[in-house]
Structure 1
């Protein structure tokens, strides 16, 4: 994205550079993704704030309506659930070199970040610690992962059915700044979609045939990052 704006930058892999990670933390950024300029930094995938930090013009595409975002999120979670059920249990401990997170924890994370949307909407706050939770001890195999995903989908569907339109205009205090409910739902949908892309890539890397093609149509209109990792 930065290159498309004509911005020169130095990409840094903080997993292999402890000094760079320490510098990010000094700036108040606990983990990537982030963009830093001098002593200022923006944490998380946040193109509007990147543009503000860099002094460039950014025109975001219009957001999909909440009902459409909810439907897209459910499609993404359904595909995640089906894919995880197809992964042999021995592969769940696999950690790709790109991230210090096992396949099991990545799959759990997709569902947990989605559930975090309704938790945040109900509480009015979204702490980062919710996104750092590993899969609990009771979720060790692909069946348990899939079952957890089904429960999360059911909870989300119930919330969306009962949620009033004005709730999406309310503000949630997130760890990366205030967000409207509509903004948070869009972020939740593309965040889950980005990890689904990663899960499909990992399945291919491990020689696992997915039960269905990746639902690329569900990604249309969502501001997913260009890079996979």
Structure 2
């Protein structure tokens, strides 16, 4: 019986501030799925286990010794037995929302107090405000590069440190380049492109699903940056809350 229980034991490896991590915790909890929460930054053996298994990124969901990456909510739901029936926005609507988030994030970067750039964005994770800011734009950078070159593992773009981006001017220049590339790709996308299947490091996926994830991934980090600005300056939110409608946004902000 113990072996059977171990084979069915569900564990979620995650870290604070990670968009998919927050969402999957909520997905499992709301569906009544019992799971062990393994914060790799605080768990005594969590990070070591990931490294031993050759896993480079979170979130990852284990069921016994089987595992699935957490980049696709549909994959996670199927893996743990959740009947997830949701409708996805059109590519055109997703495009409007994604570019809205990117434009808004650029505006927010301009408002970051200079002395906050290299402070932690959130106490529970060693990521600075500067790193959070450019990560918002690494996401479309990775997406467009994958479309242009066939790159399957975009973590070589989205999960690396851009130490050359040191100032707000550096961040804004990268933000503009990345946003302009995405807008150009959107302007040229065929009507049926969302139906195409694309190879990724977490399996073959519908392009519409990858595009949706890029949208709310950038959106969640823009939401985090917006909260940082609110806390630092006392300003009201800069984001029209209606833009979140139709997206699988997490309820939580950081964890």
Using the size of structure 1 for normalisation, the TM-score is 0.89
RMSD after superposition: 2.0
Q: Is the 8 A contact 2:227 2:237 kept in 1?
A: no
The separation in 2 between residues aligned to 1:165 and 1:27, in whole angstroms, is 41
**1:142 aligns to 2:168 (yes or no):** yes
**1:88 aligns to 2:113 (yes or no):** yes
Other structure's SS at 1:101 match = strand
Higher strand share: 2
Q: Which runs of 5+ in 1 are unaligned?
A: none
Q: Is the 8 A contact 1:27 1:40 kept in 2?
A: no
Q: How many residues align?
A: 226
The separation in 1 between residues aligned to 2:251 and 2:51, in whole angstroms, is 25
Q: Which runs of 5+ in 2 are unaligned?
A: 1-26
Q: Is the 8 A contact 2:230 2:236 kept in 1?
A: no
Other structure's SS at 1:165 match = coil
How far has the Cα of 1:177 moved from its partner? 1.5
**1:223 aligns to 2:248 (yes or no):** yes
Q: Which runs of 4+ in 1 moved over 4 A?
A: 209-212
Q: Is the 8 A contact 1:82 1:211 kept in 2?
A: no
How far has the Cα of 1:47 moved from its partner? 2.3
**Partner in structure 2 of residue 55 of structure 1:** 81
Q: Is the 8 A contact 1:83 1:210 kept in 2?
A: no
Using the size of structure 2 for normalisation, the TM-score is 0.81
Q: 2:99 aligns with which of 61, 70, 74?
A: 74
**Partner in structure 1 of residue 18 of structure 2:** none
Q: Is the 8 A contact 2:118 2:130 kept in 1?
A: yes
**Partner in structure 2 of residue 180 of structure 1:** 206
The separation in 2 between residues aligned to 1:143 and 1:210, in whole angstroms, is 22
The separation in 1 between residues aligned to 2:168 and 2:158, in whole angstroms, is 20
